[in-house]
Amino acid sequence: MAKRSIRIAIIGVGNVASVFVQSLYSPKVGGIWHPKIGGFSRDNIELVSSFDIDKKKIGKDLSEAIFAPPNVGLKFANVKKIGIEVQPGILLDDIPKHLAVDAVGTENFTDLLKQSKPDIALNLIPSGMQDTSSEYAAAAIHSKCSFINATPASIATDKSISTKFASSKLVVVGDDLMSQFGGTAFHKGILDFMNSRGLKIEKSYQLDVGGGNETLNTINEDVKIAKRDIKTETIAEEIPYKFKTTAGTTDYVDYMGNNRTSYFWIVAKSFFDSEVKIDVYLRTNDGANAGNVLLDVVRAVAKSQKGHHYGAQREICDYGFKKLPKPVLLHHAHAEFLKKYSK
Ligand SMILES: NC(=O)c1ccc[n+]([C@@H]2O[C@H](COP(=O)([O-])OP(=O)(O)OC[C@H]3O[C@@H](n4cnc5c(N)ncnc54)[C@H](O)[C@@H]3O)[C@@H](O)[C@H]2O)c1
């Protein structure tokens, strides 16, 4: 096995973390999108610590915690004991109702993080936790590790935060992970194709229904609106003119587990203003949909760090995340990412 040289601390051992951990410890993983990024393969990624605030996960070995309720993610691989216990994290926001909490102060957390000597901290806590995510980013700077923010909190897009990472010679990327083939990527992809075929897009919507704690959390009105705004904005950016569009999570169905169904409706005009309508749905698994992008982003951040490119790295943010300072086309973002990180 290749030397594991990218040291990762996971913050938030939920459904996305579960798939990520399984992908590092399973002997075989089918469907890897980019086997090498930045000269690294998945075998180069090593987990060194993990944090959560859920009493059901703290103190458990990571191999057990990733399958502990309320996680509902699929079991793709048998993970043997890893030897990393989940430690308590910090909490500065309201907690999702379903959690029994055990948290520590920032100083204690920073000490724990420092002890594990990570290169990168990976923020996978729920949506709607701006203050906690900002505090984790600050703790990463104190611990001298780079930071990946998969949550919709403003971290990499916050100039004052990204400047602090840059001046500390660290990398920060985010915000709000873009799934490999989730509703947002699919919606942007269809619109781009219709536009490239000369159709004039008039209206579109995307309504997501899912299970999993993140969906339960997202139907909370404030979080729902914040997430809907990010998704809607990134979709609107795909087309060079204004049209009516809305995209967001509309409901939680507990027995769907970590699966999601996204319903799309698009109306466009063709020759003689004749109408073209699309009415389709897409079924995906949330955790698995994050897996490839996370593996890519982790390795690209490690390459940036190694090459002394600090602060918010545009090509990584554009490729792997939805909330961006400047609009970018999906296929362009992927091409630019590969140009810089495929070797
Ligand atoms: N494909 C995807 O699933 C996808 C796509 C885009 C963005 N995201 C983002 O990734 C993040 C994780 O998603 P998920 O489905 O794994 O969520 P989840 O709810 O399954 O997991 C979140 C975990 O964080 C823990 N947690 C809560 N507060 C914490 C705190 N203060 N400190 C440490 N841990 C804390 C919870 O106990 C839970 O274990 C979310 O912010 C989500 O918006 C996921």
Q: Ligand 1 atom 18: the closest Cα is on which residue?
A: 14
- The angle subtended at Cα 313 by Cα 318 and Cα 30, nearest 5°, is 60
> What atom in ligand 1 is closest to the CA of residue 217?
19
- The angle subtended at Cα 156 by Cα 166 and Cα 327, nearest 5°, is 120
- CATH number reported for the structural domain that contains residue 237 in this entry: 3.30.360.10
Q: Ligand 1 atom 33: the closest Cα is on which residue?
A: 52
Q: Ligand 1 atom 20: the closest Cα is on which residue?
A: 14
End position of a domain, from candidates 241, 265, 285: 285
Which structural domain range is residue 199 located in? 183-285
SS3 string of 281-328? EEEEEHHHHHHHHHHHHHHHHHHHHHCCCCEECHHHHHHHECCCCCCC
Is there a contact between 292 and 180 (Cβ–Cβ < 8 Å)? yes
In the 8-state DSSP scheme, what is residue 182? S
Residue 108 lies in a domain: yes
End position of a domain, from candidates 264, 285, 306: 285
Which tens digit of pLDDT belongs to each residue from 55-97?
A: 999 999 999 999 999 999 889 999 999 999 999 999 999 876 7
Distances (CA, A) of 223 to 111, 128, 192, 250, 300: 31, 5, 28, 12, 29
What tokens appear for 184 in the block?
Answer: 């947002």
The C-alpha atoms of residue 303 and residue 300 are separated, in whole angstroms, by 5
pLDDT for the residue numbered 220: 83
Top mutation candidate among 10, 11, 16, 148 for ligand 1, by most atoms within 8 Å of CB: 16
Examine the domain organization and report whether 167 and 195 are in the same domain.
no
Which tens digit of pLDDT belongs to each residue from 302-340?
A: 999 999 999 999 999 999 999 999 888 999 999 999 999
Beta bridge partners of 252: 210
Which tens digit of pLDDT belongs to each residue from 253-301?
A: 999 999 999 999 999 999 999 999 999 999 999 999 999 999 999 999 9
Q: Cα(first)–Cα(last) distance of the chain, in Å?
A: 20
Examine the domain organization and report whether 124 and 209 are in the same domain.
no
Examine the domain organization and report whether 106 and 227 are in the same domain.
no
The C-alpha atoms of residue 241 and residue 200 are separated, in whole angstroms, by 9
pLDDT for the residue numbered 2: 54
Residue 102 lies in a domain: yes
Examine the domain organization and report whether 190 and 325 are in the same domain.
no
End position of a domain, from candidates 240, 270, 285: 285
Examine the domain organization and report whether 188 and 125 are in the same domain.
no
The proportion of the chain whose per-residue pLDDT surpasses 70, expressed as a percent, equals 99
pLDDT for the residue numbered 267: 98
What tokens appear for 196 in the block?
Answer: 């490239």
HSE-up (13 A, CA, CB side) for residue 303: 21
Examine the domain organization and report whether 329 and 269 are in the same domain.
no
Expressed in angstroms and rounded, the spacing between residue 15 Cα and the centre of ligand 1 is: 7
Examine the domain organization and report whether 311 and 169 are in the same domain.
yes
Examine the domain organization and report whether 310 and 226 are in the same domain.
no
Residues in the chain: 343
Examine the domain organization and report whether 30 and 166 are in the same domain.
yes
Examine the domain organization and report whether 160 and 173 are in the same domain.
yes
Top mutation candidate among 52, 62, 229, 298 for ligand 1, by most atoms within 8 Å of CB: 52
Which tens digit of pLDDT belongs to each residue from 198-217?
A: 999 999 999 999 998 889 88
pLDDT for the residue numbered 221: 81
